[in-house]
Amino acid sequence: MRKITRNPILSILLVGFITLAFSCNRQSSQQSSSSSDQSIELQQAITEIENKNYDLAIHKLKLLYSRYPTEEISLHLASAYAAKSGIRAAEIWGLSVGYKNPSEIKDSSSLQQLKNVFDLIQNNIEQFESPKSLSAKDKNEIMTRKNELLIKTKKLIKDGLLELRKVDVQFQKTPDIKGAQRKNLEIAISILRKHPSKRTMIYSAALFSIILKNALVETGRTFNFWREDSFQICDPNAKLFVQWVRYSLLIAVEFAQDFKVAYPKYQKALGDFQANTSSLIQQFDILLSNANTSDNNIQFNNFESTFFGYCQ
């Protein structure tokens, strides 16, 4: 080893060194205990989602959300409801890629299938216009009493379906849901809408698209039933069909509302879509209001009862 060399600045260096050691250790940031509790409880609830105990997860997350109504917890709570409906990451991811690259699905088979469905529906509407497809009784009634209303209504349905067609969604990747599942998705959406931001609204739009796809499937299904009944205007399936068309249009408007928050650059296009579609829905009501005034014998409160009211 080396020889001792007394250094007069040694003690000064040491004092400075020790001071530095103490001062640097003071730089810290405290994590509050409540924040820690929140993290632990949130993790416990998420573990329940991972274990597919969705009801328990919802229960825990609802309690947590009542105490800490944060956007983060709202997302997890909404996801628990979505998971209960069978909607998990894989389903959302497939949808989201479709939204992210709408140009990429222009020529995809799924979009072509969608187009085929709409074309079929439009053809059927054209067929519906043909007197041959209607019974003589209905034809006479419609032609004499509701001819103008029917033609306008038919046009509105066709326009409405065309507007729906403009929603570029990869339906092939969109999961199917049933009525009860749809209810859970609606709850999830209502939770997300309390915290409007890009991330909550893209998730909400994804959930809306699942509901929309489901609504369009139901629309097509009821239309086919109606077609099987030769488009009898007073057939219950006709009423169901119109109800589903209108519901789909409403969902499409809601979808656009959330999607334009997530994608501000599409705000104008989506705004136009919303305006057009809302206008369609309003035209239904205006048209029916006119019909109401033209026929004082029947009191109609909404489109469905107006359209089918005379069948009663």
Partner 1 sequence: MNRKFLPILIYISFNLMIASQVFAATAPYLKRGGHASFFSRAMGQSCWGLDIGANTLPCNPGFIAFEREGLVKANMDFGNNLRSSNEVSELLANKATPQTIENLFAHKEVSEFESNFELGYWGQTWGFAIAPVQLHSSLFTRNPALPEIDLFASQDEILRLQFGSYFNQDLYWGVELRGLHRKFIAKRFFLVEILAQDGLELVKPKEQNVLFIDPSIVYAPENKPWNPKFYLSISDLGFADKSYDEVPLKPSPHVGLSGNTDLGIGDLGVSLDLSWQQESNSPFEAATLGLTYEFGILRLLGHYGSRSDAVGFEVTANSIHIGLLTENQLLTLGWGTEEWQRRSYLVLGTEI
262 binds partner 1, rule: CB under 8 A: yes
Q: What are phi and psi of 293, to 5 degrees?
A: -70, -25
Member of 88, 152, 155, 193 binding partner 1 (CB under 8 A): 88
Member of 27, 66, 293, 297 binding partner 1 (CB under 8 A): 27
Site string for partner 1, 269-308 (x = CB under 8 A): ----------------------------------------
Member of 58, 96, 211, 255 binding partner 1 (CB under 8 A): 96
Q: In 3D, which of 288, 211, 194, 176 has the Cα closest to residue 242?
A: 288
Buried b (16+ CB within 10 A) or exposed e, 286-305: ebbeebbeebeeeebeebbe
Member of 157, 161, 177, 201 binding partner 1 (CB under 8 A): 201
Member of 12, 17, 140, 194 binding partner 1 (CB under 8 A): 17
Q: How far is the C-alpha of 251 from the C-alpha of 278, rounded, in Å?
A: 11
Member of 68, 118, 225, 263 binding partner 1 (CB under 8 A): 263
Q: In 3D, which of 62, 56, 97, 102 has the Cα closest to residue 78?
A: 62
156 with 287: CB under 8 angstroms?
A: yes
Site string for partner 1, 39-68 (x = CB under 8 A): xx-xx--x--xx------------------
Integer CA distances (angstroms), 163 to 9, 124, 185, 227, 281, in order: 83, 17, 23, 22, 12
Member of 12, 63, 100, 112 binding partner 1 (CB under 8 A): 100
Site string for partner 1, 212-241 (x = CB under 8 A): ------------------------------
Taking the complex as a whole, the smallest distance from the CB of residue 216 to partner 1 amounts, in Å, to 22
Q: How far is the C-alpha of 43 from the C-alpha of 48, rounded, in Å?
A: 9
Count Cα neighbours of 157 within 13 Å in the Cβ-side half-sphere.
Answer: 30
237 with 229: CB under 8 angstroms?
A: yes
Member of 34, 63, 69, 101 binding partner 1 (CB under 8 A): 101
Taking the complex as a whole, the smallest distance from the CB of residue 295 to partner 1 amounts, in Å, to 49
Q: What is the end-to-end Cα distance of the chain in Å, rounded?
A: 111
Binding site for partner 1 (CB under 8 A): 1-7, 10, 13-14, 17-18, 20-22, 24-31, 35-36, 38-40, 42-43, 46, 49-50, 75-76, 78-80, 82-83, 87-89, 92-93, 96-97, 99-101, 198-199, 201-203, 206, 262-265
